[in-house]
Amino acid sequence: MSVEEHRDIARQKMKGHCGVYKHCDGADGRVCQRNAYGKSIGFGGVGSGQSFYNNYNALQKIKLKMRVIGENYTPDTTYEFLGHNLTLPVMGASLTGVNSFGGDSVITEADFCRNTVLGAKDAGTIGWRGDTYTYDWDFMPCYDAICTAAGGWGVKISKPRDQEILKKVFKKYEDGGAIAAGIDVDGSGSTIMAAYSKPVFKKTPEDIKELVASTKLPFIIKGIMDPEDAVAAAEAGAAAIVVSNHGGRVLDSTPGTAEVLPAIVDAAKGKTRILVDGGIRNGYDVLKMLGIGAEAVLIGRDTVRAAVGGGTEGVKVLYEWYQKTLAKAMKMTNVPTLEDITREIIY
């Protein structure tokens, strides 16, 4: 089945939570995008939804420079991440918690985690898994997916919980053979965690250094939207950072990630790996993000729809489609390899 066929199935299963629109842009007319007034924000963005919308809109403003005279070639989309060779610079974002898009009646948390991790692995890339208020030491479907089902082939991102809890979690994933671990510092804006007696905290550079030192795994900081934060994360020992506003779900009225990425790259390139998420919907968007300086991207909402509509196979097909559209974009902009991508390919 195709990406569109899987989306048709997801559209029916996620009715009332996600319309699986042709343009997933966070516009205020979307079923996912409503002011929640104290309730869960569901699958949309927080508040007026501007941060979600800005992610999408920022990418639409970037134009690719078409160059088609020259030697013919087959673009090479292969990418190395923390010593692992991938088929493309696209991985599954750590979006977690099926309660946001329909609950167990749509898909169980365990199945969602397995689908995203194993589907990515089958496509030759990596599925990242996150953290939510339903998770505790006795319920770790992310661990089961990454370390049991996939043999360690995955990345674990935790909410910025208490330091000692995080150290315990990272040790478990380290022993389970995971590729990397880290925290989404933007998760410090999660109110639902505190509401369920699982508080989250802002982290100081010293806190991050302590966590980096607590594990042998490469450490990742997700949720960077400012050059100073990027440099602080790098200096604290982050092997990689992810430029992200949490899908527009923690602070209203932030810029889109594509707007802030160039300044972050200028400040932190060479000090840490720089990844990005937010509003990416196809391989052309991937190339835009690489063109303004990211080395790889993460896909959130598209991965959810693929997992719900097509299971493991749906996620695999989605990433294969991203690879094909990225390769076409690279050929039409005269970049044979990822190393050839620079800001010269965009207007």
Q: What is the CATH classification number for the domain harbouring 322?
A: 3.20.20.70
Does 71 map to a domain? Answer: no
Q: What is the pLDDT of residue 37?
A: 59
3-state secondary structure (DSSP) of residue 337: strand
Residue at 40: amino acid letter: S
Task: With both helix axes pointing from N to C terminus, report the angle between 50-60 and 257-268 in degrees, rounded to the nearest 10.
Answer: 70
This prediction's pTM: 0.96
Cα-atom radius of gyration of the chain, to the nearest Å? Answer: 19
Q: What is the pLDDT of residue 103?
A: 92
Residue at 209: amino acid letter: K
Does 176 map to a domain? Answer: yes
Does 63 map to a domain? Answer: no
Q: What is the pLDDT of residue 36?
A: 58
Structure tokens at 204: 């100081």
Domain boundaries, position 203? 79-345
Does 72 map to a domain? Answer: no
How many structural domains are present in the chain? Answer: 1
Q: What is the pLDDT of residue 38?
A: 59
Does 220 map to a domain? Answer: yes
3-state secondary structure (DSSP) of residue 47: coil
Q: Where do the H-state alpha helices sit in 61-187?
A: 109-122, 141-143, 163-175
- Measured between alpha carbons, how far is 69 from 63 in angstroms, rounded to an integer? 19
Does 7 map to a domain? Answer: no
> Which run of H or E residues covers position 192?
helix 191-195
Does 148 map to a domain? Answer: yes
Mean pLDDT of the chain: 95
Does 38 map to a domain? Answer: no
Residues of the chain with pLDDT under 70: 34-39
- Measured between alpha carbons, how far is 109 from 106 in angstroms, rounded to an integer? 10
